[in-house]
Structure 1
């Protein structure tokens, strides 16, 4: 890399800020608290820091490496990867991939984020080689590049769907669903019986996008019953593909199961039925269910609850038994807001990133030939606006 005069503390700050901003974006991208403008402001700042590292040349690369050496967390892996990829230098990319391998399987997601923020032209010399190589990490990143940059892998997808590595198969399954590759329906359906639950869930996602929700439902039900860490995603997909009364009855049976009560309460908002509000308000009075009920409320209304005084972390307003890292709903205030105008009236529309994702899913599930929209593309407003 080219050596360019730079101020070391500022370059180090670029590395630290980029790691923090990407980690925050990753945490918020699928939650109901920020919209595309909020995420766009984060994107604007993140890109400025990435460009600062690139402009610093060798100093930027060394700052990224030093940051990774000190912390080796998800954000630092992202910064190491994106700095190497933006440089376009094979040696730096090899260093980043080798270093990230040492941190374990979770590094793939961070490197996938780095691929997403690297221009397509800079990736082009590497992707074909990654997909054809023996290293499963590189094959996974090749598939990530196709996913993030909207490229159908064509005939190559068939082999990737039966790859020896489960992470490669999982990413190939996601591509099959995203691009509505019905020519690959047979391996997608076969993957519903895969050994790993994450692979079965992705296969169910792909099957639903390919119009085979009925085939996916048994796999989703099994995941809901047996995989607590994946239950929320499985319930969401099950409800999006089980409309009307059948969906309500399916969810009610999960609400009746103590082990699923929290995650099922959280999913109530997906039904879009405002008649559930009195029931939800009562759940907000239960410490165990308050957070889930609050998240369901956010799914029910396109209202920016950040601008209302209905959520708090203050124990004095909630009670001593209510604890959590996120603001919880104040049941009495939510009840008054609901009784006053049945919610949402007189307020501007707020479409969170979670709602954008759900709407994109609903649209592609409803239209057999529609590919899944890239709901992550946000408006990059300047950070000071």
Structure 2
């Protein structure tokens, strides 16, 4: 006998609330106005509704969750898949069957549930790496890499794959110093014509300590590509004085300015703060990014007299090309950033600059250390934590991985492992960490 209609209404409400909160939670992960505590509160509400869905058992699964895998919006699909996976073997069977038959946003929704779920044995996903469809293979491989659950033998056949998405996922799945065949594939990938592959190879190459990866990082810093944007962040995290000077010079390139300001906020250098100050009176986006980076270095809070009313800054010109109109209407994470009052910030900086030692790296005005990196991962806005997690992986040679887009309960376990092994983390510049050619 099916559940009473009233009970189905309750489960439908659970699903609707879960989908809404899932979307809110995902948005919070890129927000400059949300920290880990706030994101965790949203996550707890999300998990409560997902738990509610599992209470309906097989009947609710059959009538509501399984059909949603085919019919729902991405966050509805993710919510239904997550609840089915939590229901055990039978629920997981339906998710895996749908994984091999679906595509597009629905496949993306299932992939996200597989990334966040910790009830399904990752070994159950390994056979699907042999699926006939590349997008299915890629969804599974990316989910397994996200969970750091891919055996080296499974990665090996994708490291030189013809599909850039599969190859880049496999490259990002490498840990620490790879064996010789994987190392050769990694070096070859640094010369790939595919930007996505080169970007993945750059990150994994630095984790592996490949000097050639650092050389590529310095070479690509002026590129307008995704690989160039990643290189700029990496140079800011671990470069020297010459690297910083180059990044500051790139602020004069309009197409690189936004990503360079973002990168400079992770450099912790007084000279970078000086450079950011010069861009606080520009258009709204540039001013907001300059203020964010300046505060990340110096510790100033953009509030009270240091925050500018919106009307004080020049409007960004609207693009007239038809293909750009939709992009202009999509809110960007930096739209939530406070805007600096340039005069007040400059006066504060004139007074405070002398107490900060030039050449030393700072985090919110305090000297950088391994401990400050841990504190930043706990306290910084969610928008910044993915870069900080990458720095942790680089400085530990891949031994310590914190996935900033995972559920906080999994992140807490990663924190515990990191705190138990501080001696394995280096605070040196990245060029000093490169040991291989």
Whether TM-score is above 0.5 comes out as: yes
RMSD: 3.7
How far apart are 1:51 and its partner, in Å?
1.3
Is 1:239–2:236 an aligned residue pair?
yes
Return closer, same or farther for 1:215/1:379 CA change in 2, 3 Å cut-off: closer
Within 5 Å, which residues of 2 pair with 1:162-201? 162-176=160-174, 178-183=175-180, 184-201=182-199
How far apart are 1:172 and its partner, in Å?
1.0
Aligned to 2:95: 93
Can you give the 5+ residue segments of structure 2 that lack an aligned partner in the other structure?
A: 318-330, 357-363, 367-374, 411-437
Range with greater deviation from structure 2 (203-212 or 325-334): 325-334
In the alignment, the residues of structure 2 paired with residue 337 and residue 61 of structure 1 have an alpha-carbon distance, to the nearest angstrom, of: 62
In the alignment, the residues of structure 1 paired with residue 257 and residue 122 of structure 2 have an alpha-carbon distance, to the nearest angstrom, of: 47
Contact 1:146 1:153 in 2 (8 A): no
How far apart are 1:196 and its partner, in Å?
2.3
How far apart are 1:173 and its partner, in Å?
0.7
Aligned to 1:321: 315
Can you give the 5+ residue segments of structure 1 that lack an aligned partner in the other structure?
A: 381-385
How far apart are 1:166 and its partner, in Å?
2.5
Aligned to 1:291: 288
Return closer, same or farther for 1:131/1:329 CA change in 2, 3 Å cut-off: same
Return closer, same or farther for 1:13/1:95 CA change in 2, 3 Å cut-off: farther
How far apart are 1:101 and its partner, in Å?
0.1
How far apart are 1:238 and its partner, in Å?
3.5
Return closer, same or farther for 1:224/1:182 CA change in 2, 3 Å cut-off: farther
Aligned to 1:8: 8
Aligned to 1:151: 149
How far apart are 1:124 and its partner, in Å?
4.3
How far apart are 1:256 and its partner, in Å?
2.9
Return closer, same or farther for 1:142/1:301 CA change in 2, 3 Å cut-off: farther
How far apart are 1:272 and its partner, in Å?
0.2
Contact 1:53 1:83 in 2 (8 A): yes
Aligned to 1:383: none
TM-score normalised according to structure 2 size: 0.70
Is 1:365–2:365 an aligned residue pair?
no
How far apart are 1:302 and its partner, in Å?
5.8
TM-score normalised according to structure 1 size: 0.78
In the alignment, the residues of structure 2 paired with residue 81 and residue 220 of structure 1 have an alpha-carbon distance, to the nearest angstrom, of: 42
In the alignment, the residues of structure 1 paired with residue 211 and residue 27 of structure 2 have an alpha-carbon distance, to the nearest angstrom, of: 29
In the alignment, the residues of structure 1 paired with residue 305 and residue 3 of structure 2 have an alpha-carbon distance, to the nearest angstrom, of: 50
Contact 2:54 2:84 in 1 (8 A): no
What number of residue pairs does the alignment pair up?
367
Aligned to 1:112: 111
How far apart are 1:164 and its partner, in Å?
4.0
In the alignment, the residues of structure 2 paired with residue 308 and residue 100 of structure 1 have an alpha-carbon distance, to the nearest angstrom, of: 51
Within 5 Å, which residues of 2 pair with 1:304-343? 310-311=306-307, 315-316=310-311, 318-319=312-313, 321=315, 325-331=335-341, 332-335=343-346, 338=349
How far apart are 1:282 and its partner, in Å?
3.3
In the alignment, the residues of structure 1 paired with residue 172 and residue 244 of structure 2 have an alpha-carbon distance, to the nearest angstrom, of: 27
How far apart are 1:200 and its partner, in Å?
1.5
Aligned to 1:59: 60
Aligned to 2:380: 351
Contact 1:40 1:378 in 2 (8 A): yes
Aligned to 1:42: 42
In the alignment, the residues of structure 2 paired with residue 274 and residue 82 of structure 1 have an alpha-carbon distance, to the nearest angstrom, of: 46
In the alignment, the residues of structure 2 paired with residue 191 and residue 30 of structure 1 have an alpha-carbon distance, to the nearest angstrom, of: 29
